[in-house]
Chains A and B, each alone.
Chain A
Amino acid sequence: MSAAARRLVSLFAAAAATFGVAALSRVPYPPARPEHAAIRLAWRAPGQRMEQCRRATEEELERLPVHMRREEICEQHIFPYRLELLLDDSLVLARTIRAAGAHRDRPLYVYEEIELDPGRYKVTVRFSREMPEGALRGRIEGDFPEELRLEQEADLGPRAVALVTYDPETRRLVIGGNIGQ
């Protein structure tokens, strides 16, 4: 290869590498596919808390350091909730939502997203308390409803997201986002 040809090839290679960097910097994502819509369920719920207390036995108290001895031992529990999503009366999502945190004493967080074809849907969301086997029995605290229910028509255009959230003021599930009524 002559010096001039080599120089030309080297310039071309450098330009191609630079072009490659710029091209890889703008890869279209997600890859081409039919446009779809989505329904997103996202809320934070304090849930229903139950606290059950009993008197500690002598043995239990003796096992504890003096400064930690309390006569009453309390266990807290936030009930799990059953989440169901129905579109046109067909069940598309069913899940048990448990309280967050290692001790399951944090609020319940719901975050689900379902992709669907654009169109008009009857959206039904149910969020109802579960009472598992062996759950504590006692006084239930908190004013969070035992069941939330939303039923509404939503017209979802291409790429529209319907957002279902919980409104703590009205204590109801509400639907918003890009929905035609």
Chain B
Amino acid sequence: MDVARRLERAARRILEPADAFMNRLYGWRYNPIYHSGALALALLAVVLITGIYLLFFYRVGAPYESVARIEGQAWLGRWMRALHRYASDAAVAATALHLLRMFAQGRSFGPRTLAWLSGLLMLFVIFVAGWTGYVMVWDTAGLILAREGARLFDALPLFAEPIGRTFVGERALPGAFFFLNLFLHVALPVGLGLLLWVHVSRVARPNLLPPKKLMWGAIGLLFACSLFWPAPLAPPADPLQVPDRAPLDAFFAFWLPLSRALPAGVVWALGGLLVAAVALVPWWTRPAAPLKPRPSVVNQRLCTGCEQCYLDCPYEAITMEAGLERDHPVARVHPNLCVSCGICAGSCAPMGVGPPERTGRDQLAEVKALLAARRPTGRELVVIACRHAAGGLADRVPPLEVRILAAECAGSVHTSVVEYLVRAGVGGVLILSCPPRDCWHREGPKWLEQRLFHGREAELKERVDRRRVHLAYAGYAERRAALRAVEEALGKIAALEVAAGETAITLDEECEPASEPASEGVNRT
């Protein structure tokens, strides 16, 4: 196993138990780790709003005094400033968590490269904006950060005069310095908006805000903390005094102890290596060519132009275009945007689209072979388990009388597979999906649930006995929850009569077009 896979696995070993723990506490709907990206955005919005308020009182001519005056407003200014600070800290933590999550789940290469790089750039902008924010206050902590920044930049051949001289204490700092700081502190977050647009440009229906309960809960707690434990304000910066112990923000200045202990050149070299390693994640973690996920293909002969795959694709990788020899538009997959999730396979009623060997027809063939090898007893349970979740059942078969079918994504499971299993006489089918907000492919469980129980196109037909179809959610580390779901499904099957199997089930033939051109055009861009 190569280094990239090892690192991803190591990251998953941290993340999956944390996910499971949070699911137990908050349930998958409000698991803050699942919503880390959206939570970061909500917190940045808080930073923006509180920042606008603080801007009215900040003076570049008297930076420390103006912040001290804000601190003096016991009922508004003080907690606004504290909330501004704590929300920016929490936003950094949430962004870092989001980054770790995407890395651990291998969601950083191929079509996701743009999102990875723009996200990294956003984190960098947040850091620089935070840095300028601390210097703006011009307390002891601001002085330490400013001088260290100057030391590092002076090691680069960028400035005609060393900028470190600004802070030696020979003369008072000019207002222009604080104006520049303020300008950067305001202008950089404006750039964040543009980066966010790039960040989500390749996903359909981006989740920009977490669920309201989670969002207001997080903001409420930070608000309470701001009220009862306001942010500290260190003594004013005095370049002619060795800085006393200053309260530094670990989220923005965690690098400081290491940086100050090393020569500037070494800091740049180490920092450069780290940034390069993270920025190049999409290239060094992508699987080798034979293992690379293959993009979906469209069988034009089967495409009815219903647009469902186009609507369901979470990455906007499918467009509807004029097809050869067809009087309606047909789906076209753009391989450079397709992550091979297979959700389109589950969305296509005639089973005409999907990644090679994972289309609805391929799934149906696999199920037929499974049942042909061992005839269903009428009491047994077939579990279709998501490879990336479902308590790891796809990897470690449980000590229970069940048959396991692994799926890349529960959302790629075609309802015909479920119908075939039930009509062929299995006691029941349990689809064990990842929790909806944990889907590696974003929207798999959401579409699956709608297809199974709410009549979304490519729906499970009414003729299928719903008492034998079960859907449950469990993360990879939630093995107990997965086994509990299996036992519950087995219990329900036991309470039913023995399933009677049909012999002539021709689901794939039902979907064949009545009269179509003989050629089977495969549409791949």
Contacts and interface: CB of A to CB of B under 8 A. Distances in A.
Interface string A28-49: 1111100111101010100000
A178 B221 CA distance: 44
B232 A160 contact: no
B168 A29 contact: no
A52 interface: no
Nearest to A118: B242
Among A21, A28, A35, A160, find the residue whose CB has the most chain B CB atoms closer than 10 A.
A21
A131 interface: no
B455 to A, nearest CB: 33
Interface string B203-220: 000000000000001100
B165 A177 contact: no
Nearest to A166: B170
Contact of B157 (A28, A42, A102, A161): A102
A35 B242 CA distance: 9
A106 interface: yes
B164 interface: yes
A25 interface: yes
Q: Main SS of the interface on chain A?
A: mixed
Contacts of A15: 221
Interface stretch (A5-13, A75-83, A84-92): A5-13
Contact of B257 (A26, A29, A37, A163): A29
A24 interface: yes
B514 to A, nearest CB: 56
Interface in B186-232: 217-218, 221-222, 224-225, 229, 231-232
Question: Which of B164, B168, B248 has most A Cβ within 10 Å?
Answer: B168
Contacts of A32: 245
B324 to A, nearest CB: 57
Given A111-B165, A161-B169, A24 B240 contact: no
A109 B165 CA distance: 9
Given A25-B85, A159-B242, A42 B222 contact: no
A22 B169 contact: no
A88 B6 CA distance: 58
A21 B26 contact: no
A29 B89 contact: no
Nearest to A178: B240
Contact of B249 (A6, A26, A177): A26
A24 B245 contact: no
Contact of B25 (A9, A42, A163, A177): A9
Size band of the interface chain B makes with A: 35 or more
A21 B165 contact: no
B253 interface: yes
B245 A6 contact: no
B241 interface: yes
Nearest to B21: A13
B165 to A, nearest CB: 6
Given A18-B222, A28-B247, A178-B241, A10 B165 contact: no
Nearest to B244: A159
B76 interface: no
Contacts of A28: 245-248
Contact of A18 (B221, B245, B251): B221
A128 interface: no
A14 interface: yes
A163 B168 contact: yes
B86 A25 contact: yes
A38 B238 CA distance: 13
Contacts of A18: 86, 90, 221-222, 224-225
A27 interface: yes
A109 B162 contact: yes
B236 interface: no
- 7 interchain residue pairs of minimum CB distance: A26-B247, A42-B168, A10-B25, A24-B250, A29-B248, A18-B221, A159-B242
Interface of A: 1, 6, 9-10, 13-15, 18-19, 21-22, 24-32, 35-38, 40, 42, 44, 100-102, 106, 109, 111, 115, 159-161, 163, 165, 177-178
Interface of B: 24-26, 85-86, 89-90, 93, 141, 144, 154, 157, 160-162, 164-165, 168-170, 217-218, 221-222, 224-225, 229, 231-232, 239-251, 253, 256-257
Given A21-B93, A100-B162, 14 more contacts: A9-B25, A10-B26, A14-B217, A18-B86, A18-B222, A21-B225, A27-B248, A29-B248, A30-B257, A35-B244, A100-B160, A109-B165, A115-B242, A177-B169
